[in-house]
Chains A and B, each alone.
Chain A
């Protein structure tokens, strides 16, 4: 992994760690996101992905979904720390629920040069049932949704096509317990 950060970010730093998706219900008030992000940076926890949106206008509630890495003990500590924040109603590790669903959305812009590439791209887009947002000569924009894993696979497959240029944005996972 190459990066231009002054901080070392070793790839294998979190070998013992498990990926967890936390779902946090909060009062939608100024500073709440800063409180949560500050808690993570201040205590040295990781945020892999973060999603925040108002979900209950009447009661002024937002749902924050955080994807994080850590040993189980650390995840439990993160949840306990989150629940100490005054505007937090609840913090749940989706993995601890009997039934929960995850989804993520991703927009992918692909630039290509020839018909062969176009053909291969179309093939993958078809397999993964993407939605075409925009199509022009030598450029296509797809929307793909589903589990993060599914999106990862689609992106991995795209990289097998040589000579194309990919730019993308991902929402990070969102999840809901049933």
Chain B
């Protein structure tokens, strides 16, 4: 194709995607995107994955992005097509996932007339995207697409939407390649690339002086790339400081390592939360002091000096006031710190934190993730533990839905590498996991991809099993079936006098038959003796599998910091009773 040649808007979109090295797109056709679908028909570089509902497309794009580090792309039609992706865009914004959504719009001259399948797409999606565009001139289209990709992946990543009216898809213009677009720096908002040497020196000084330091690592470390996690590991080895990670930080530091305190927060470990509560130095690497992590703010880590690495200036001092911060990319910062230590030949006293580690070992001695697996009924924790033990020899990607199963997965599945754990944290979107697994499998065709699910969440996007079957994606849906919206039931038990209002999921389908009706494979484990075989069969079959694992219906997720409580007010089991005054305060929180 010559660049002097005028091509249609639809062809420009395809050309720009090719230029951006996009090879996979998730979508669903409709009236306002037919010209783009026509362009997709006549090409072979781009693989289109037809989902069964647009929500599936956006979560698949998220799963694709999270598991590959690339930008996820989706294509939907106007009106209901795009309103169906609003949840997923919000999800991607909350969890900083780079995606580009192209939506069709009614022809320009019909905008504002309440035309068929018209909606104010940019208006609706403005608060749930990092940026969005309504294309009014086909001559600007190439530039807009390239800028959209740059915005999606730079700085703190996020979703970007491009709304393209149908007449613009037909109109002709010359294509501008990515290499010829010069981005305006104020619009891209990439973090600072300058190393703050004073920050580094202060940090090292504090590390040397502190007695009770802790690393608190979040999704920002993940978004800085796998190399950032390598630098973190180096720094931890040099300093001998314990590491706790947020839900999204899992995998940034190897979960099996002795310096890992595992996850912190509402369902984090006893040792992680008490270490946060009692530390004298907190080094926050790309976490945002989320309310699930901090618990009651006025009791949050009262005696620590806080360092905060975050590329997003608005995350600094938003919920918790910090003493020192840097907005430089985490990889650059961590690398500079490690280089600084090596260059100056700084040695850290390996015994400096011995009393601190002894204290931590004492907390670990509580064995807060202990559960009693009897002979018959499968404990959900045990199901995940066995899943981990039977899959950790191969490269495995885990996605989840939202609820108890998600927290158990975070507690009992150990990740040794970043980007292997894909979950909806900020927004908490039930129905996220299966389409996200489809996206992860598209990006990693050879890997094992398992969606750890609850039966209620799974039913929210169940239609996507057909997508997995159509594209021969051997994803595994591992349902911890307790016939309840378990986390809702747990809160009702703890805060609402065990009045289980509408949290029992009645009239469930037979998941095995359901799988078969979709031409997928169904397996089931009703009791402990069937568990391992079910997991092994699920892994060995090279087709999409729904594994229906019947687990203890009344099991609750512990440890737990109830809403409105502090880190040192954790409940370790159902026998721990919450203080009544906390209960009343916690009830009004989420």
A residues apposed to B, CB below 8 Å: 27, 30-31, 34-35, 38, 42, 73, 76-77, 80-81, 83-90
- Asked if A76 and B317 make an inter-chain contact with CB atoms under 8 angstroms apart, the answer reads yes
CB contact between B126 and one of A31, A77, A83 (< 8 Å): that residue: A31
The minimal Cβ–Cβ distance linking B531 to chain A, given in whole angstroms, is 46
- Asked if B187 and A86 make an inter-chain contact with CB atoms under 8 angstroms apart, the answer reads yes
The minimal Cβ–Cβ distance linking A40 to chain B, given in whole angstroms, is 11
CB contact between A35 and one of B126, B151, B314, B318 (< 8 Å): that residue: B126
Say yes or no: is B571 at the interface (Cβ < 8 Å to chain A). Answer: no
- Asked if A84 and B312 make an inter-chain contact with CB atoms under 8 angstroms apart, the answer reads yes
Chain B's closest residue to A82 (CB) is B314
In the complex, what distance in Å separates the CA atom of A35 from the CA atom of B313? Answer: 18
- Asked if B127 and A31 make an inter-chain contact with CB atoms under 8 angstroms apart, the answer reads no
Chain B's closest residue to A27 (CB) is B187
In the complex, what distance in Å separates the CA atom of A84 from the CA atom of B131? Answer: 10
Say yes or no: is B134 at the interface (Cβ < 8 Å to chain A). Answer: yes
Chain A residues lying within 8 Å of B134, measured Cβ to Cβ, are 30-31
Chain B residues lying within 8 Å of A80, measured Cβ to Cβ, are 313-314, 316, 318
Say yes or no: is B47 at the interface (Cβ < 8 Å to chain A). Answer: no
Chain A's closest residue to B160 (CB) is A86
- Asked if B126 and A86 make an inter-chain contact with CB atoms under 8 angstroms apart, the answer reads no
| A-B pairs with beta carbons under 8 Å apart, 19 shown | A30-B134, A31-B126, A31-B132, A31-B134, A35-B126, A38-B126, A38-B127, A42-B127, A73-B317, A80-B314, A80-B316, A80-B318, A81-B314, A83-B314, A84-B314, A85-B131, A86-B131, A86-B189, A88-B186
Chain B residues lying within 8 Å of A27, measured Cβ to Cβ, are 187
Chain B residues lying within 8 Å of A77, measured Cβ to Cβ, are 314, 317-318
- Asked if B186 and A89 make an inter-chain contact with CB atoms under 8 angstroms apart, the answer reads yes
In the complex, what distance in Å separates the CA atom of A127 from the CA atom of B383? Answer: 83
Say yes or no: is B122 at the interface (Cβ < 8 Å to chain A). Answer: yes
The minimal Cβ–Cβ distance linking A86 to chain B, given in whole angstroms, is 4
Say yes or no: is B509 at the interface (Cβ < 8 Å to chain A). Answer: no
Q: Is the interface on chain B under 10, 10 to 19, 20 to 34, or 35 or more residues?
A: 20 to 34
Q: Which of B302-348 contact A (CB under 8 A)?
A: 312-314, 316-318, 321
Chain B's closest residue to A85 (CB) is B131
Chain B's closest residue to A81 (CB) is B314
In the complex, what distance in Å separates the CA atom of A81 from the CA atom of B189? Answer: 12
Chain B residues lying within 8 Å of A34, measured Cβ to Cβ, are 123, 126
In the complex, what distance in Å separates the CA atom of A77 from the CA atom of B318? Answer: 7
Chain A's closest residue to B136 (CB) is A30
Chain B's closest residue to A83 (CB) is B313
- Asked if A31 and B122 make an inter-chain contact with CB atoms under 8 angstroms apart, the answer reads yes
Chain B residues lying within 8 Å of A90, measured Cβ to Cβ, are 186
In the complex, what distance in Å separates the CA atom of A162 from the CA atom of B112? Answer: 49
Chain B residues lying within 8 Å of A81, measured Cβ to Cβ, are 314
In the complex, what distance in Å separates the CA atom of A81 from the CA atom of B312? Answer: 9
In the complex, what distance in Å separates the CA atom of A27 from the CA atom of B123? Answer: 18
Q: Which of B182-213 contact A (CB under 8 A)?
A: 186-187, 189
In the complex, what distance in Å separates the CA atom of A80 from the CA atom of B136? Answer: 30
Chain B residues lying within 8 Å of A83, measured Cβ to Cβ, are 189, 313-314
In the complex, what distance in Å separates the CA atom of A34 from the CA atom of B134? Answer: 14
Chain A residues lying within 8 Å of B136, measured Cβ to Cβ, are 30
In the complex, what distance in Å separates the CA atom of A76 from the CA atom of B316? Answer: 10
Known: A31-B122, A80-B314, A86-B187. 9 other contacts (CB 8 A): A27-B187, A31-B132, A38-B126, A42-B127, A76-B317, A83-B313, A83-B314, A85-B131, A90-B186
Chain A's closest residue to B316 (CB) is A80
